[in-house]
Structure 1
């Protein structure tokens, strides 16, 4: 039986070109623009689920077993 350890898949993978990296928010820290993107998308998802008819339907599915 073959046994693969977790780092095995990443040993030989080439690094991405630095032009494809997200820019860092603060010099010397590892926080990058992905953090800001995640926060913005979370706010957008909240607005969609809270204030649209599709969000209402999703909430009703969670509240009522017979809704679907």
Structure 2
């Protein structure tokens, strides 16, 4: 909802088990990843930590880890 409210132009392309493949504008990358990480890690109260990691790249072969 927050991404839509801010009109950040993010598209969910694919969901595979515990992985989401998203397409987004590079100019908003930091804001988008922070919003997604925050929402996904805090959506439920769990007894174990839920950690969300991101990789970016033009294709799966060239993905690289990013710190948020």
TM-score by length of 2: 0.27
* Larger relative contact order, structure 1 or 2 (CA cutoff 8 Å, min sep 6): 2
More helix by share: 1
- Higher-Rg structure is 1
More strand by share: 2
